[in-house]
Structure 1
Amino acid sequence: MKNKNQLRMTTETKDSQKNQNRISIHQPARRDSNRVWDFFCSVKLAVVIILLLVVACILGTVILQEKTMDEYTAKYGYALAAFFKITELNNVFYSYWFTFLLILLCANLICCTIKRWKNTFMQTGFILTHLSLILILIGGVVKFQFGVKGGVNVYEGKSVNYFLTQMINRQGKLDYVKKDLPFSIALDDFILEKNEPKFQLVSYIKSRNRQKNLEVKVGKRQRIPGSNYTVTIKDYIPDAELHQEPINTSDSADNPAIFVKLFGPDKVIAEGWLLAHDRNFYEDKKQNLRVEYIWVSSQEELEKAINSIETAHPKISVLISEQGLSQDYPMELNKTFKLEGTNYSLRMLQYVLNYGDRRPLEEQLTDNPAVQVEINGPEGSETRWVFEKFPDWDKMHPSKYKNLKLTCDGIASGHMAKNIVRLFQSSEGKQVMVSIKNNHITSTIPWELEKKYTIADSNHQIVVSKYFPSFNFRKEVIKKSDTVGVPAIFVEAEGPSGKVDDWLFSNNQYATWYTDNNLALVYESMGESIKHFTSRLRIIENGQTVAEKTIRVNDPLTYKGYVIYQSSYDPEAGNFSGLQIVKDPGISIVYSGFGSLCFGVIFIFYIKPFLRKKQK
């Protein structure tokens, strides 16, 4: 008996030791799992995540979003721009770390809900409200990571099966990505509904910087407050048109002009007036031909102009007023030129033949030649545009190095057409036609009115049919119809310089100034003339029309998760419709979250108190 008790005690001791060993083995694992669980159930974690999300939202509001690297560099500097790109602060709400914060907050909510959940019916409201927040967060993550938004223009009678989305590429440049659609969108009809047009007469006093709307009433004399000007509308035409007839006003050479005809093999291909002091050239890019009219003051100036044709080369000139230094440099791009005897250097970055024209260089007319120059000096670098026809441009615009005067010359002549016909005329009556090919003179002959001359090395002929020493226009305003089209008013303005009258057209984008340049008048349309713009769309899938709808702003077409909005239209011809295409796979999850929130709130504030009252 004693031996049996001893054996039992020994066995129990061994079992207890095994259990203790087993507990000691699993305790650290349980403690680690408890720590992870407690971390995700922590209210402090939720507070920290929410604070981080608030800071992220503030940064996403303050910092410009989804801009190019150049725009960030111009606004914030290169260092901050690079930091924004690395940390994705340039696209906060679609960044991976913002999505991670949302997922972490969602996990925290799930763990907190499970930990505090007591399996009773009375906690239904608690579960629904927490579930709603979780669903909204999940929907937001799905939208940010898997949603797409873009646009496409569809022409009337055409269809598209793609749309374009904007993105910033790795180089920090704005780029467009083509996204294919699982169906085609056809535009059957585009309809523009316009409001009844309304127009207003606006006066502006420059000395007082004061603007006032005047009453558009024929015969009423209106005094402009705070000034000694009066305005009277003498006549009104609902749909007016201006006819202009070229005339010669005197025999003195005040504004010389010639009428030129250009003949092809069998007909006139171009004709028009060339004005010595205004538009003095005609350029045909297809024929690689340019015709110029040059007026000179004397025989000496004429010979000088002809002799300089083959020696003229594009150049940029620099004048340092303080030191009296002046230097010329050839127009060579991306080559650094050192200004001798100074701490300055220049580099020509690019040139254009018509500043503001975004077309390729070979398609630009030589209307406004300019070169972009980078100046490096003691105070760093400065980039400046230098205009061939406006040498005093820098005086009107602030610059870092005001002591440097830059001018350019020869851009237009150095990059003109391959064949040039230059019609020279002097005040002494000398008339010379110079043919130029590849910057070399091929012929020099005198020209006369009404005589036909063959252009060298081409099948074209040229005739100067008219010459006006003092060119001007005789203007006549006529009535086109009785309906409102392009209305015009005949206005008389009276002020310090007497009475002045003129026609004001509603489609003129420039103001009409009184003779003292202090009073300006503008006759313009009021407000937006477009009332509605709608598109009749069809969805085509596998060659069959599966859906169709006439969409307008805030009334889209929805198909297979894609929502097609009316966003814009062609403002000129009105023959295409601008569509915005959005796909948000998280929207149904978000709506479910809001529905759960509504039911949860109703349960907490109405159903739960009612049940408790019944229980009592």
Structure 2
Amino acid sequence: MESSKGKSTRVKNGTIVDEKKIGVNKSEEKKRKDTNKVWDFFCSVKLAVIIILLMAVACVLGTFIVQGRSFEEYTARYGYGLATVVRITQLNNVFYSHWFSLLLVMLCANLICCTIRRWRNTFLQTGFVLTHLSLILILLGGVIKFQMGVKGGVNVYIGKSVDYFLTQKIDSMGRTDYIKKPLPFTIALDNFILEKNEPKFQLTTYVKDKDKQKILEVKVGKRQRIPGSEYNVVINDYVPDAELRQEPVNESDRPDNPAVFIKLLGSERALAEGWLLAHANNYHDEKKQDLRLEYIWLPSKQEFDNAVTTVQNVDAKITASVPDLGILQDYSLELNKTFKLGASEYSLRILEYVLNYGDKRPVSEQPANNPAVHVEIEGPDGLEKRWIFESFPDWDKMHPLKYENIKISCSGIAKAHMTRNVIRVCQAPDGNQKLVYIKDKQILETMPWELNKQYSFANNDLQLIITRYFPSFNIKQDVVKKSDQVGTPAIHVRINGPRGKKEEWLFANSKYATWYKDNNFAVLYESTGESIKHYVSDLRIVKNNQTIIEKSIKVNDPLKYDGYAIYQSSYDPEKLSYSGLQIVKDPGIPVAYAGFAALCVGVVFIFYVKPFLRKKLKKENEVAENEYS
């Protein structure tokens, strides 16, 4: 059969068929098949398994590879080649990478397709739909957070405000930079408060010959034994906030411990005042005036005459003794010179000395506040180095030593260091007492002194008054309770040991231990530190010059406004002058919360509502069948 022009027809089973229509139908069928393949792909359980496995691998990589570091740090850690791979694949920021968000989107699409395919348009499918919808919403919330959320921080000083925060960004080259993000409002910090827990204190004991410490319970009246020793401790009294009040007293008219109270006046104000003791703290340095005040008690007329007529300067020395061998010897302060300790196996070398221990300046610039000598001892067991302190002769008792049988002390270091100006208050038992003014190691003036008279000196605008003299100076001490609140607590302890008992007040702010009579047992009442309870920032949100909202925020208790959450994250530990805030904006949170709500409703429907409806429907069907029969 011939076809007409412009038409294509053929006979099939006795029927005329239009070939163009057949082609169109085949094309449509092919499109439907392709569409079905895409649909089947997104409905595939295999796809869900593959995506979940890829996400699991990503989480593992994000755990083992340190996140958010600079390219230089990755290069130092992994090498340049591997660091480049990490940067290109965004493994340095896995959870905020584009490919991780793509995995989340694909998993959402897979869940949506699976839900539509399995959905039967009945009310009983409500739980199924809600649980699948919840997973979709939670995943979408994560995608929104990773791609649209921001997080950063800013420090706000008390009384100041900010309208921005800084957020960290890693550029394409792996470099870390900070970007200033504006805020649609202003954050003002009115105050910052650091709340601390009540401090705790402990009583620590130390047995030197056993080198063992033990912490005792702070309980009044309880006798506590020190295991493996002859010592026990009893706390007789406890004061939560104590003060040690000291009052100078004169115990007798005998010159057992002479002392004078001196006032030093400048041209406009009082410079210093206090007690000088002849046999203890007998000098005071006034650094700004380059002046030293000395109180010297001279028991004989000859010594008195020498002191007021010559510039005597004490020679610095160290004293070494080995009691077991009967050795006691003084040595001059000569650096790097080796001294033999008598006929013993020991030798001593002076390495260095300082006028103020811990001061890094040259010795010539140091004040004579804490003189010390660094020595080296050589003996049968090798070398031992130790510091000897002039003001703390018992320092070595608190530290284990290699050669405990060797006792070393130093003296005269502070006195040997003469200032440019020296005023000596000289006194003798026979009543002679004179002031000697020395400048540049020359005596300029000598004059007798009396109590409560004011004295001035040539070429100097200083005045001196000696107001009191005690022949037998002592300190009367009383422990006074200041308040019932815990401030500076003190305990009164009784130590029982091989040499009887010793009673002492111990203050929690003391830096030094209290030793028993045999110098083998020590106790120290100390603070274990104050733990921080809260750090609180009083914040205000200001917009258009008006306070919108205000709140005192703490850790995990943020201020929320306009989609932003403002957390307390840090503070200035030294001056408490600023508060460190963390600014977070996460638009994915409402979506994720909606997902969790849908999940809860869906689970309740599946486990409670659906079984109830099925049971009810079953009863209705049974009733209907009975009526029909």
In which range does the TM-score fall when normalised by the shorter chain?
0.5 to 0.7
Please give the secondary structure, in 2, of the residue aligned with 1:53: helix
Q: CA deviation at 1:107?
A: 2.0
2:104 to 102, 105, 108: 102
Q: Which amino acid aligns with 2:590?
A: S
State the match for 1:215 in structure 2: 218
1:9-20 superposed matches below 5 A: 10=9, 15-20=17-22
Q: In the alignment, what sits opposite 1:127?
A: 129
1:71 CA displacement = 7.0
Aligned to 2:488: 486
2:470 is matched with none
Code of the aligned partner of 1:598: C
**1:261 corresponds to which letter in structure 2?**
K
Q: Is the CA contact 1:202–1:214 (under 8 Å) kept in the aligned structure 2? A: no
1:14-413 to 2 correspondences below 5 Å: 15-22=17-24, 31-66=33-68, 87-166=89-168, 176-191=178-193, 195=197, 197-203=199-205, 211-217=214-220, 221-233=223-235, 236-240=238-242, 259-262=285-288, 366=360
Matches of 1:39 and 1:593 in 2, distance apart?
25
| Deviation at residue 132 of structure 1 after TM alignment | 0.8
Structure 2 counterpart SS, 1:602: helix
Post-superposition offset of 1:248 = 7.1
Rg larger for: 2
What secondary structure does 1:222 align onto?
strand
Query: What secondary structure sits across from 1:119 in the alignment?
Result: coil
Any idea what the Cα deviations from partners look like across 1:534-590, whole Å, max 9, x if unmatched?
444321101111222344444432210112234455555555444333221100000
Q: Aligned partners of 1:16, 1:500: CA distance in 2, in Å?
A: 123
* Separation in 2, partners of 1:76, 1:519: 54
Partner Cα separation in structure 2 for residue 84 and residue 493 of structure 1: 66
Distance in structure 2 (CA, Å) of the matches to 1:95 and 1:524: 52
Tell me, yes or no, if the aligned pair for 1:222 and 1:230 is still in contact at 8 Å: yes
Letter of the 1:487 counterpart: P
Distance in 1, Cα, partners of 2:214 & 2:292? 40
Could you tell me which runs of 5 or more consecutive residues in structure 2 were left unpaired when the two chains were aligned.
Answer: 247-273, 294-314, 319-331, 337-357, 363-372, 377-411, 421-438, 446-459, 465-474, 622-629
In 1, Cα distance between equivalents of 2:68 and 2:57: 18
Match of 2:257 in 1: none
The whole-number CA distance in structure 2 between the counterparts of 1:500 and 1:70 is 63
Counterpart of 1:587 in structure 2 is 589
Aligned 8 A contact 1:155 1:577 in 2: yes
1:544 to 543, 546, 561: 546
Q: 1:462 to 1:52 in 2, by over 3 A?
A: farther
**1:76-109 CA-partner distances (Å, limit 9, x unpaired):** 7888766655544444333333323222211221
- Give the CA deviation at 1:70: 7.5
For 1:450 and 1:596, locate their aligned partners in 2 and report how far apart those are by CA, in whole Å.
98
Is the 2:43–2:110 Cα contact (8 Å) retained in structure 1? yes
Partner Cα separation in structure 2 for residue 171 and residue 227 of structure 1: 67
Residue type of the partner of 2:287? K
Contact 1:242–1:478 (8 Å) recurs in 2: yes
Aligned partners of 2:282, 2:92: CA distance in 1, in Å? 58
1:537–1:551: 8 Å Cα contact kept in structure 2? yes
More deviation, 533-542/514-523: 514-523
SS in 1 for 2:582: strand
In structure 2, give the amino acid aligned to 1:55.
V
CA distance in 2, matches of 1:201, 1:587: 51
Query: Displacement of 1:112 after TM fit?
Result: 1.9
1:43 Cα deviation from its structure 2 partner? 0.7
Q: Are the aligned partners of 2:276 and 2:283 in contact in 1 as well (CA < 8 Å)?
A: no
Tell me by how many angstroms 1:203 deviates.
3.8
Q: Quick one: distance in 2 between partners of 1:587 and 1:593?
A: 10
Give the Cα–Cα distance (whole angstroms) in 1 for the partners of residues 605 and 279 of structure 2: 94
CA distance in 2, matches of 1:518, 1:166: 58
- Structure 1 pair 101/486, CA: closer, same or farther in 2 (3 Å)? same
Q: Conserved in 2, the CA contact under 8 Å of 1:204 and 1:520?
A: yes
Q: Take 1:73 and 1:492, find their aligned partners in 2: how far apart are those partners?
A: 63
Cα distance in 2 for partners of 1:223, 1:529 equals 30
- The 3 A distance-change label for structure 1 pair 367 and 578 is farther
Amino acid at match of 1:99: S
Once the 2 structures are TM-superposed, how far is the Cα of residue 58 of structure 1 from its aligned partner? 3.6
Mapped partners of 2:333, 2:212: distance in 1: 48
8 Å Cα contact 2:8-2:20 kept in structure 1: no
The amino acid of 1:482's aligned partner reads S
Decide whether aligned partners of structure 1 residues 606 and 66 sit closer, same or farther in structure 2, where only a CA change above 3 A counts.
same
> Separation in 1 of the partners of 2:513 and 2:180?
44
Return the alpha-carbon distance in structure 2 between the equivalents of residues 227 and 183 of structure 1. Answer: 69
Equivalent of residue 561 in structure 1, options 553, 560, 563: 563
1:160 match: secondary structure: strand
Question: What amino acid is the match of 2:45?
Answer: V
Whether the aligned pair in 2 keeps the contact of 1:236 and 1:487 (CA below 8 Å) is yes
**What secondary structure, in the 3-state scheme, does the structure 2 residue paired with 1:523 have?**
strand
Comparing 561-570 and 124-133, the one that deviates more? 561-570
1:20 offset after TM fit, Å? 4.3
Q: 2:86 & 2:607 partners in 1: Cα distance?
A: 46
SS of the equivalent of 1:262 reads helix
One-letter amino acid of the structure 1 residue matched with residue 152 of structure 2: G
Structure 1 pair 261/203, CA: closer, same or farther in 2 (3 Å)?
closer
3-state secondary structure, aligned to 1:605: helix
AA in 1 matched with 2:216: N
Deviation at 1:138, TM superposition (A): 0.6
AA matched with 2:58: A
Q: Equivalent residue for 2:456?
A: none
1:432-447 to structure 2, matched below 5 A, reads none
Post-superposition shift, 1:208?
7.2
Is contact 2:202–2:526 with CA below 8 Å preserved after alignment? yes
Contact 2:203 2:524 in 1 (8 A): yes
Q: How far apart are 1:164 and its partner, in Å?
A: 3.6
1:297–1:427 CA contact under 8 A, matched in 2: no
The answer to whether the Cα contact below 8 Å between 1:431 and 1:448 also exists between their aligned partners in 2 is no
Measured in 2, the distance between the counterparts of 1:510 and 1:75 equals: 46
Relative distance call for 1:204 and 1:119 in structure 2 (3 A) is farther
Determine if contact 1:67/1:174 at 8 Å carries over to the other structure.
yes
Structure-2 change in CA distance of 1:192 and 1:432 (3 Å)? closer
SS in 1 for 2:101: helix
Q: How does the TM-score come out when normalised to structure 1?
A: 0.56
CA distance in 2, matches of 1:75, 1:9: 73
Please list every run of 5 or more consecutive structure 1 residues that lacks an aligned counterpart in the other structure.
264-269, 274-294, 306-354, 356-364, 369-388, 393-424, 434-444, 452-460, 466-473
What number of residue pairs does the alignment pair up?
Answer: 450
- For the 8 Å contact 1:162–1:180, the answer to whether it is kept is yes
